[in-house]
Structure 1
Amino acid sequence: MSSTDAPRRATIADVAREAGVATSTASVVFSGKAKVAAATRDRVLSAAAELGYAGPDPRAASLRRGRSGIVAVVLEGHLRTAFLDPVTTAMMDGLTDGLADLSSGILLMRDEAGDDAAALANAPVDAVVLIGCSGRARASLEIVRARGLPVVVIEGEAGEGIPRITLDNAAASATIARHVRDLGHRDVALVTLPLDSDRERAPVTDARLAAATVDVTVERLTGTREVFPDAPAVSASGSFIDEGVRVGRLLLADPAARPTAVLAQSDLLAVGVIRAAEELGLRVPDDLSVAGFDGIAVDGISDVTLTTSVQPAVEKGRAAGEQVARMLRGERGVTQHFTCRFRAGTTTAPPANR
């Protein structure tokens, strides 16, 4: 063997030979499926330690089961920005917890056409989790269904027979809007998440809304407009603080047309609106009330507490992982619904002219 070659990985047969026992006996020691005499067990473990054998190769076990030991997670948009959103990070933490019993690895993929779609069609995975099911993600869903793989969708319409993890987006948004209305606000503006995969920052028109493909955005807007049906809205290009600043500047630039409250579809966007207001010398909530959605911990908003709807992001991810585990055990996956908790913070108050 040359100096550049990796040493051969010790096998269970090597351990058995070193310990002077049958291969099946050594295998039982590591599987724990039957009792072995203490002396025999000690000889096997001692031989394993001597040879550097840590246990069966999980990849081999997966292959014997006809599985890869990998679950694909398809995210919307660019992977480099996906984890800038604390909600995504929390969901992934929960998903990992839910998959713990499977000892599965996670393969991150994006919902793009072309090479990425081909990759999903051929990826050696046991199951797929789609975070959102909008636009291109629906094409990913069709690829997965054609392969016959178990699939779970977190927040998105998936069609009949696909287990989903859903959230009361419309009801929670309506609750925030009623809170602001009850404070006396009538001149309200909205900042939405992207409407589609184009992620255009622009006013939300009837035509754009009719063509929208992001279910979460539409659901939250529907809930808000139950209370403020005529409120103008601008779609952001993503859930980022900097994007909230940009949209906030658009909404607050003209003092004559300035709203008394802004309702944003994410906490990060809401923080951006607050920063835009501060740039203009506006005080929150004295001059402008601002509310968000998500209930994440956000740095950089001094000593205020954001009025928001707190969603169970970790629990959503965990539920998705548990449904994947159920289906890989041959059980039927089920849809689970989660609800948000309204939190009145210090960023909303009665309008100054009330």
Structure 2
Amino acid sequence: MADNLTEAPAESGQDPRDDVQGPVTVAYIAESAGVSIPTVSKVLNGRSGVSDDTRARIEELINRYGYRKPPGSRNNTVELVFRELESMWAVEIIRGVERVARKNRVGVMVSEFGLHDSSGRTLGDVTERRPRCVLSVAQLSEAERDQLKAKGIPFVVFDPTTELPDDVPFVGATNWRGGRSATRHLIELGHRRIAMIGGPEDVSCCRARLAGYGSALEAAGLSVDPSLIVHSPLTREDGCAAARELLTRPDPPTAVFAANDLQALGVYKAARELGLRIPDDLSVVGFDDLPVVAWVDPPMTTVHQPLTEMAAAATELALALGRGEQPAQAGLEIATTLTIRESTAPPKL
């Protein structure tokens, strides 16, 4: 749609600055360019909806006057907020965010402290920086979401761990489908005693993976044995402890599906300690497909969660919201796929 001109630009040779007193304002640039104030705002904030000729005219005036946005204006950055950066997850997520940010010529601000931690730093630290948008790997409380809305800062939740209201934008993965495909793979190999090391029961993605596990068993006519399900934090150490408890039972499982790759690496450690060989004595499937699991011995079968693609999609969504666009859907789930390597095999007869 063409821009509505409010008046013609200043005549050639006339410096429209001659009659200006004080600093140049957005309103003055709009008047000089012969466009509306919202049109100038779109150009200043990198938004679409402005013709190339009009954008060039506005940018020329901005450069001529040396206009700078006043303090408190939105910065040309995406704020990426983590609880912590120690996880191997972080690198894959940052890679996806950087890819989209570079394409859109915006910067990336990475915050490790989360949005409310024991150091005393709060969401106010984020809002004071006035980013174009926030991509939160740390979960947002209702109060924090309201605070961002009040400041006019759009946000997207990455891989939410709790149920969100329908109007909260998010990007996640098909966790139920991933859990189902991992378990079905083990069933098709001939395993019947398949254990599940689930994550924390209050984490929604872990519940979905567990539900997928149960669905695959039931579809194969196998009952879900609660004694083969152990919940633990999503760490290598806790995965090792859970696997040790399962594998030292009188009738241990022949296969273990872990809720994430770190837990599955803990299963590897427990198996070695107990003198079990993978996959000869025990099949193992993880979830995430972190780069490291392709290099362990044996290379791990796992559910590929496309973290980089998820982060890229979340950044595109966040930037679109920052431009004032209304996406077709607030929530997006990226498909998971099973990556079969050498940690799974038929059980011993």
1:223 aligns with 2:193: no
**Aligned with residue 282 of structure 1, among 276, 284, 303:** 276
1:112 is paired with a residue of what secondary structure?
Answer: coil
| Mapped contact 2:254–2:282 kept (Cα < 8 A) | yes
The residue aligned with 1:48 is none
Query: Number of matched residues?
Result: 279
- Aligned residue number for residue 246 of structure 2: 251
1:40 alignment partner in structure 2:
none
Deviations 1:176-220 (CA, angstroms, capped at 9, x unpaired): 10111122222122112333xxxxxxxxxxxxxxxx2x2111111
Distance in 2, Cα, partners of 1:64 & 1:111? 23
> Residue 78 of structure 2 contacts residue 106 of structure 2 at CA under 8 Å; is this kept in 1?
no
State whether residues 132 and 155 of structure 1, in contact with CA within 8 Å, keep that contact through their aligned partners in structure 2: no
Structure 2: tracts of 5 or more residues without a match: 1-23, 25-43, 45-54, 58-63, 218-223
What is aligned with 2:333?
A: 337
Give the partner amino acid of 2:96: G
1:150-161 aligned at under 5 Å gives the runs: 150-156=154-160, 157-161=163-167
Partner in structure 1 of residue 134 of structure 2? 128
Identical-pair percentage: 27
2:151 equivalent in structure 1:
147
Structure 1 residue runs of 5 or longer lacking an equivalent are 1-23, 25-30, 35-43, 45-55, 196-211
Instruction: Please state whether the residue corresponding to 2:287 is helix, strand or coil.
Output: coil
Within 1, Cα distance between the matches of 2:246 and 2:146?
39
- TM-score normalised to structure 2 length: 0.70
Q: Which residue of 2 aligns with 1:236?
A: 232
Aligned ranges 1:1-354 → 2 under 5 Å: 33=56, 61=68, 63=70, 66-76=73-83, 79=84, 83-100=85-102, 101-108=104-111, 109-112=113-116, 115-117=120-122, 119=124, 122-126=127-131, 127-131=133-137, 133=139, 137-156=141-160, 157-195=163-201, 212=202, 214-228=203-217, 229-231=224-226, 232-238=228-234, 240-254=235-249, 256-298=250-292, 302-333=296-327, 334=329, 335-353=331-349
Alpha-carbon separation, structure 2, partners of 1:145 and 1:33? 32
Structure 2 counterpart SS, 1:99: helix
2:290 match: secondary structure: coil
Which amino acid in 2 is paired with 1:247? Answer: A
Distance 1:235 1:146 in 2: 38
List per-residue Cα deviations over 1:124-160 (Å, max 9, x = no partner): 3332212264xx6455334323434211112224322
Q: Residues 274-330 of structure 1, C-alpha deviation per residue, up to 9 Å, x if partnerless?
A: 111011100111111110011122269654221111121111111111112112222
User: Which AA in structure 1 matches 2:179?
Assistant: S
Contact 1:70–1:105 (CA under 8 A) maintained in structure 2: yes
Stretch moving more, 111-120 or 229-238: 111-120
State the 1:242 CA deviation: 2.9
| Deviation of the 1:248 alpha carbon | 1.9
CA 1:148–1:234 in 2, change beyond 3 Å: closer, same or farther? Answer: farther
Are the structure 2 counterparts of residues 249 and 146 from structure 1 closer, same or farther at C-alpha, using a change threshold of 3 Å? Answer: farther
